[in-house]
Structure 1
Amino acid sequence: MVELSADERAIAAGERGAGAAMALRIVAEAARLMAAPRLIPIASAHIDGALYHGDSGTLFAERLVQDGARVAVRASLNVGALAPAGCAAVRLPPHERDMARRMMRAYEAMGCEPSWTCAPYQAGHRPAAGSDVAWGESNAVVFCNSVLGARTNRYGDFLDIACAVSGRAPDYGLHRPANRLAALLIDVTGLSQELRRSDVFYPVLGTILGRRAGSAVAVIDGLQGCTNEDRLKALGAAAASAGGVGLFHVAGVTPEAPDLAGALGHVPPRERIALTAQDVAAALAGLSTAGGSERIDAVAIGSPHLSLAEIDALERLIAGRRLAIPLYANTGRHVLAPLERAGRRKALETAGVVFVADTCVVVTPILPQLAGAVLMTNSGKFAHYAPGNTGYAVTYGSLRECVESAVAGRLVREPRQWS
């Protein structure tokens, strides 16, 4: 039985209109299914449900708008199915394109911010540590919990906007401090410092974390002084794709892990996994599905969306050269705007970079349809989803390898730090 406050009962009865009433009833029913005793107020939401997957999603959003629903808290929007701020051509059929556009407009009509990014935390949406929020999109959820220290469960489509409109979420799971303590210890201290300081390592580590942890909370020991926000972003995105990870800690780095003992709640871990170079090499090999082929038809980076620092790194690696095959740079309009003001977008596009903003190549049809095609990426999340979503086999590599392969028009490898 979910105990509603007097204010919540009034909202459910229609005090704030039919749209808010429906939203509150959806959240209350979700709470009942999750055995949550009550609802809690939230500070913000990140909405994943605005990505078109079928007409029902559009009709649901338009019904909320018709019934007067407006978000009660700050609500940013995840990627959509179209790219109005980018130059990539989306190959959606006319009906689906129209429904996707209607869906995007409906969410904006409810007062959601037209951020259209899977990295809202890099676009200024950074809830305070300890605050309760309702975020969708797996990488955004894990970053919000782990790196920012705010509290959210993995909110799915339609429940996310219901939470935003009602201003409430079910009180269960990762909203509760006791459920945020680590039970699993992943020890990377036995790996070389060179490896732990390399960008290419973090999606591999995230893949291991996702497969070993599932939905359990883990703490990683051995990354002190080795990581930064973009690396933690890549780690969490891969972990949330390869498993059900919603929260991880990094001892001495993330806000709820001042040290190893604190992350574990001062009790021994349920399990300790000491990673070896062989473990990393096996996970690395598993991210590529293209076998030994040197064929590369396209390169795609930016899942989660590229930060300005990652664009800087891309620009340095290209160094004014021309690309032989297209490199799709997926990012948000918050990154594209300063690039345009500085004239850098045009220079990168002249070199052969194709910017994709407001969406990405894995969630909507952008990549050309080619038989036996191979996509190269430095993203663990792309590596996980691209074969099923795009039909392309995947070759995983570092950002440098991705750029050199795009310049050469074939697979180029650099010496492996863990060889």
Structure 2
Amino acid sequence: CRPVWTCAPYQLPGGPGLGDHIVGSESNAVTYYNSAVGARTNKYGDFLDVCCALLGRVPNAGLHLDDNRRGQILFRLADDVPEVLRAQEMLAHVLGHYVGKAARSAIPVIDGLPASTTLDSQKAISAATAASGGVALFHAVGVTPEAPDLETALGGQDPVRVEVVDMETLRKARDDLSTAAPGPLDMVALGTPHFSFTEFARLADFMKGQNVASGLTMYVSTSRHIRELAAQKGWVEDLERAGVQIIVDTCTYFTPAVRGATGRVMTNSAKWAYYAPGMLPVEVCFGSLEDCVRSAVAGEVRRDESLWRGRAA
């Protein structure tokens, strides 16, 4: 048994592969393993997961079975969604938030994401769909391993319904993730689920030559494993010198480390934006990672709206 204390154990070495039967309980991890990895797990509650570990067996039911992994609801990105937006991690958070609410506990199939969709974006969709809904598995056509094409993702059957997701729908979903109007910031919260190595690389690049504004707190949550990898690159030292606080093994929407958090908080995480207002005395502004950096440096919310204008007719 190796304790790791992370909500993103899939970022650690030696994980499961396609078709492996595993036991997962953390919501985003269950969805990520099922979807991005193609491993098989249901959402197991506390103690049942321990029982499975002791026995070395899982129930022959639910998402462990082929027939129960077929996509059910098709979400197709509309033509007015620009290609440049489809490639953004921020789109993954927003789309995941919408799909989770609409699909609830059904299995969604997302059509229209680029084949180059990153694992960080798949992490974002996993977390957002599991937070706003009860999604434990999604398929992204041409992206996730069990969805090389639409027919395979749907298991050769017709979807129970089809939803076309256009720019108006996405803008509404994005706005739904903010409870506060733009203005002076008190805190920036990144790393829900835990920050990855590639996210640290991007953050370190964005923060070069800049510092967090005086009086503002900027948190990054991650695992101790990823923190060590980032430290080896010199990113942890650079970020901490710039005023970024890196915490490990927990999350900033309930950790004692941020019990004093109040006021207006900015995040790039749909999951954090969804949960935090009910767990902390805060109002939330949602934006991209680059938006969060720009805002942390300025001390006030600054967002690039250009990507959300859609494709010209």
The verdict on a shared fold, with TM-score over 0.5 as the criterion, is yes
Partner of 1:194: 84
Determine if the alignment matches structure 1 residue 367 to structure 2 residue 258: yes
The answer to whether the 8 Å contact 2:261/2:280 transfers is no
1:159 to 45, 48, 53: 48
**Aligned partner of 2:18: which letter?**
A
Q: Deviations over 1:49-91 (max 9, x none)?
A: xxxxxxxxxxxxxxxxxxxxxxxxxxxxxxxxxxxxxxxxxxx
* Matching of residues 163-312 of structure 1 within 5 Å: 163-190=52-79, 191-290=81-180, 292-312=181-201
Q: How many residues are paired up? A: 306
| Residues 338-347 or 229-238, more deviating | 338-347
Tell me the CA shift for residue 158 of structure 1: 2.2
Partner of 1:331: 222
Identity fraction in percent:
43
Tell me the CA shift for residue 150 of structure 1: 0.7
- Structure 1: tracts of 5 or more residues without a match: 1-110
The answer to whether the 8 Å contact 1:184/1:270 transfers is yes
| Residues 157-166 or 260-269, more deviating | 157-166
Determine if the alignment matches structure 1 residue 346 to structure 2 residue 237: yes
**Aligned partner of 2:140: which letter?**
V
Q: Deviations over 1:354-387 (max 9, x none)?
A: 001111112322225255x121100011011111
2:209 to 320, 323, 343: 320
Alpha-carbon distance between aligned partners in 1 of 2:47 and 2:168, rounded to the nearest angstrom: 42
1:143 to 19, 27, 32: 32
The answer to whether the 8 Å contact 2:200/2:235 transfers is no
Partner of 1:29: none
2:278 to 388, 397, 402: 388
Alpha-carbon distance between aligned partners in 1 of 2:51 and 2:12, rounded to the nearest angstrom: 23
* 3-state SS, counterpart of residue 51 of structure 2: helix
Tell me the CA shift for residue 183 of structure 1: 1.2
Partner of 1:22: none
The answer to whether the 8 Å contact 1:154/1:246 transfers is yes
Alpha-carbon distance between aligned partners in 2 of 1:401 and 1:357, rounded to the nearest angstrom: 23
Alpha-carbon distance between aligned partners in 1 of 2:239 and 2:248, rounded to the nearest angstrom: 15
Partner of 2:22: 133
Distance 1:226 1:280, change over 3 A: farther
2:13 to 95, 117, 124: 124
* 3-state SS, counterpart of residue 417 of structure 1: helix
* Matching of residues 72-83 of structure 1 within 5 Å: none
The answer to whether the 8 Å contact 2:206/2:293 transfers is yes
Tell me the CA shift for residue 418 of structure 1: 1.8
The answer to whether the 8 Å contact 1:377/1:394 transfers is yes
Work out which of the two has the higher radius of gyration on C-alpha atoms and give 1 or 2. 1
Partner of 2:294: 404
The answer to whether the 8 Å contact 2:204/2:238 transfers is no
RMSD: 1.4
Relative to the length of structure 1, the TM-score reads 0.71
Alpha-carbon distance between aligned partners in 1 of 2:242 and 2:52, rounded to the nearest angstrom: 44
The answer to whether the 8 Å contact 1:196/1:226 transfers is no
Distance 1:125 1:234, change over 3 A: farther
Partner of 1:358: 249
The answer to whether the 8 Å contact 1:367/1:390 transfers is no
Alpha-carbon distance between aligned partners in 1 of 2:16 and 2:31, rounded to the nearest angstrom: 13
Tell me the CA shift for residue 391 of structure 1: 1.9
Relative to the length of structure 2, the TM-score reads 0.94
